[in-house]
Amino acid sequence: MLRTVVCALAVLAFTATASAQTAKPAGSLTDVTGVWIMLVAGHQIGLELEQKGTVVEGVMLAMGQRILLIGDYVDRTLTLKGEKPQDGAPAPHAGGPGAGPITAKMLDNGTLAGELTTNQGPTKWTGERLQPK
């Protein structure tokens, strides 16, 4: 009986170690999952992203509205397109239907730098991931 328990614990420990080694850690340069603060023309915008493989889904919180986003993250390049605000209202400025894509490159320091389209035209933006406490 003790031998069975020890073997079961060893299998669980091995499985947990193997899973941890293959999973991408949140906050890595290869995964954009997390909560980000975008700085766009002096304004802070919330961005929550979840990555599965190369597919990225998220929500941008801009001007009191939630804009659904979908896109991909390949070779440290993020591309997102807005679907529509969850409340059904017209999308504000960036990321809404008909707007150009939101693009960014992951920099070596773990921040994002890119461009999006607002009602003022193409605008540069930067993003920093909030670190979990």
Q: What DSSP line would sit under 7-32, residue for residue?
A: HHHHHHHHHHHHHHHHSPPTTSTT--
> Tokens in use for 43?
């304004």
Query: What is the predicted pLDDT for the residue at 48?
Result: 97
Query: What is the predicted pLDDT for the residue at 20?
Result: 38
pTM of the predicted model as reported, rounded to 2 decimal places: 0.71
CATH architecture type of domain 26-129: Beta Barrel (2.40)
| 3 state DSSP class of 6 | helix
Q: How far apart are CA 33 and CA 49, in angstroms?
A: 5
Walk along the chain (133 residues) and give the pLDDT tens digit of each residue: 434 333 333 333 333 333 333 444 556 899 999 999 999 999 999 999 999 999 999 999 988 889 999 999 999 999 999 875 555 555 545 555 556 799 999 999 999 999 998 777 899 999 999 987 6
| 3 state DSSP class of 104 | strand
Q: Select from 30, 36, 96, 104 the least CA-distant residue to 67.
A: 96
Query: What is the predicted pLDDT for the residue at 2?
Result: 38
Residues with Cβ within 8 Å of residue 7, at least 6 apart in sequence: none
Domain chopping of the chain, boundaries: 26-129
Q: How far apart are CA 14 and CA 8, in angstroms?
A: 10
Q: What are phi and psi of 7, to 5 degrees?
A: -65, -40
